[in-house]
Amino acid sequence: MTELGIGIGWRPEIADAVEELPGVDWVEVVAENVCAGHLPESLARLRARGVTVVPHGVSLGLGGADRPDPERLAALAAKAEALGAPLVTEHIAFVRAGGPLTATPRLEAGHLLPVPRTRDALDVLCENVRIAQESLPVPLALENIAALFSWPGEEMTEGRFLAELVERTGVRLLVDVANLHTNHRNRGEDPARALAELPVEAIAYVHVAGGVERDGVWHDTHAHPVPEPVLDILADLAGRVAPPGVLLERDDRFPAATELASELAAIRTTVTTAARRRPAAPGARHGVAAAALRAGRALTGGNPLHIGAGARVSGGLMPPARPAAAPEPRPLRAAAVPPGGPVAVLPRPAPEAGSGAVAGTAPEPGAEAAAVGDAVRQRVGVGQAALLSALVAGTPVPEGFDVRRIRVQGRALAAKRASVVARIAPELPEILGEEFRPAFLAYARSRPMPGSYRRDALDFVEGLLLDGRRPERRELTRWWQERSDSRPPGLAGRVARAARHVLGGRWTA
């Protein structure tokens, strides 16, 4: 496995500081914030110095009921190639719901939401992970997320859920110890138990971040200093296994470089100190051996299961970071032997009676994608759509959820939308002043997020323009025209929009 060392999340706001910080072995970049054909100069300089850059995706929604979007997968693959990354990472989460599968309006969360720890949800997640692995040119690792609420009727602990995911897909884990702390504070889950249940040899690297308590719950903000309890969980993990990498995340309220350097030093000290207490394990198995043994216990009989790209994750060493020079392009679907070693071949479970599959025969093309039936995906999708509608559209909270927690989560989603729109459209807070945030939150209460934050900003301003009494109308009109390539809505447009809103068209972009 690639040894990454101590790293920090690269963000444009602290790009210069990251380049100057001592002891930064690698960086992680939000994949959706970079373009494969036009990397920021700061990242190019880091790569030229030999600093590993790992793309970290936030929009695949592998825990969602739908299969992964091929265009999103292709974009992530292209960024991994452009960065010469040894792996890519994403989240065990859903970020959108609804659509044809559930015959409900398509909704976007604009944030990572937890999947229910049920057998149905695990089946869907595993199949989505395998689809992603086959589309990516490098190994995939998935992150456990923080949550403000619990799903009713969960069937597994977080540790068991993650362990079974690794067993069935060979995917590696990005363990966020700050998220374990958040789930301890908000859901009463024991971080030590979660770590004890994890297949520690599957850990690709670790996230560390800060948060804050607000509204009676702990928010994983990535905008506050790392608290001692998070470092304690990191020490527990590092006392069990040597993590290949540990990364500090900071996404907002960026402190001075000296404070970032101090937090990195505290992380390094925590890992080093914990390593001295780590018991020797001469017989421990790692990499493909451990994954194959676990999967062999779970899967018996039938045809061989070629894990494909996932085998690079669990099968031997991950490929090292490639140099800054552009590598030869490779096809996205890896059919050849991966750089980390041969593809692991594990037994496929015998087909269930009545499944239509014949033992001893290779599956038809597309059969793997059909392994999880639409009925299972629909059950997962209906639950996720109902929850997301309650969070962003004000519909009733589904039975079994903590209503107060769902309302807190809904407010947090709206606040995140406001913060992101303020960052990508900084002119709007300048035009509206102190009125920006309350005006946006009022808009968000009745308008679920469209497909992108850019569209969200345009829709927000259009809503303001529908109110002809706004004193900032001239400035808002100019802003809107420069970015929408069309005229702002006149009287007829305002009447049509109002009619659609009243008649239920509020969910349209």
pLDDT digits (tens, 9 = 90+) for 401-460: 999 999 999 999 999 999 999 999 999 999 999 999 999 999 998 899 988 899 999 999
> Which residue type is seen at 25?
D
pLDDT at 65: 98
Kind and range of the H or E run holding 129: helix 119-135
Residue type, 3: E
Calpha distance 184→53 (Å, rounded):
31
Would you state the pLDDT for residue 131? 97
Note whether 112 and 90 are within 8 A (CB). no
pTM of the model: 0.79
Least confident piece of the model among 109-118, 301-310, 351-360, 369-378: 301-310
pLDDT for 489 equals 53
> Alpha carbon 360 to chain centroid distance?
37
CA distance 143 to 115: 12
- 485 band by pLDDT with thresholds 50, 70 and 90: low
Using a 10 angstrom Cβ sphere, with 0-12 exposed, 13-18 middle and 19 or more buried, the burial of residue 389 is buried
How many residues are present in the chain?
A: 509
- Taking the C-alpha atoms of residue 446 and residue 502, their distance in angstroms, rounded to an integer, is 11
316-366 confidence digits (pLDDT tens)? 344 455 555 544 443 433 333 333 333 333 333 333 333 333 333 333 333
**pLDDT higher than 50, residue 295:** no
Work out the percent of the chain whose per-residue pLDDT is above 70. Answer: 77
What pairs with residue 54 in β-bridges?
Answer: 28
Mean pLDDT of the chain: 82
Q: What pLDDT sits at residue 215?
A: 79
* Residue 376 exposure: Cα atoms within 13 Å on the Cβ side: 16
Pairing type for strands 26-30 and 5-10 reads parallel
Least confident range of 181-195, 230-244, 290-304: 290-304
Q: What is the average pLDDT across 155-171?
A: 96
12, 69, 324 from 83: Cα distances, Å: 16, 22, 8
Q: Look-up: residue for tokens 């110890």?
A: 177
181 vs 189: CA distance, rounded Å: 9
DSSP state of 433: G
The residue type at 350: A
What sign has the CA pseudo-torsion 230, 235, 237, 241?
A: positive
Q: What is the pLDDT of residue 356?
A: 36
Task: In whole angstroms, give the CA distance from residue 212 to residue 345.
Answer: 45
How wide is the angle at C-alpha 439 spanned by C-alphas 433 and 444, nearest 5°?
A: 140
217-260 per-position pLDDT tens digit: 898 999 899 999 999 999 999 999 999 999 999 998 999 999 99
Token pair in block for residue 30? 């939000």
Give the C-alpha separation, 82 to 29, whole Å: 13
Tell me which residue of 372, 367, 374 sits closest to 103, measured CA to CA: 374
**Parallel, antiparallel, or unpaired: how do β-strands 104-113 and 203-208 relate?**
unpaired
Rounded to an integer, the average pLDDT of 270-277 is: 94
SS3 7: strand
pLDDT at 373: 85
Q: What average pLDDT does the segment 124-149 reach?
A: 97
Q: What is the mean pLDDT of residues 35-62?
A: 96
Average pLDDT over residues 169-190: 96
Predicted confidence band at 46 (pLDDT cuts at 50, 70, 90)?
very high
Q: What's the pLDDT score for residue 347?
A: 34
Q: Which residues contact 23 (CB under 8 A, 6 or more apart)?
A: 6, 261, 264, 265, 268
Cβ(83)–Cβ(53) below 8 Å: yes
pLDDT band at 488 (very low <50, low <70, confident <90, very high): low
- Which of the residue ranges 301-310, 426-435, 473-482 would you say has the lowest mean pLDDT? 301-310
The neighbour count for residue 76, using CB atoms within 10 Å, is: 29
Question: 2 pLDDT band (50/70/90 cuts)?
Answer: confident
All residues at 6 or more sequence positions from 49 whose CB lies less than 8 Å from its CB, including other chains: none
Residue 292 has pLDDT above 90, yes or no: no
Cβ of 77: how many Cβ atoms within 10 Å? 23
Q: Which two tokens stand for residue 77?
A: 């693959």
> Which structure tokens are listed for 429?
């807070």
Question: Among all chains, which residue has been given the structure tokens 């494909």?
Answer: 308
434: exposed, middle or buried (Cβ count in 10 Å: 0-12, 13-18, 19+): exposed
> Which residues fall within 8 angstroms of residue 329, CB to CB, at 6 or more apart?
81
CB-count burial class (<10 Å; 0-12, 13-18, 19+) for 67? middle
The secondary structure element, H or E, covering residue 507 is none
Helix axes 70-83, 119-135, angle to 10 degrees: 50
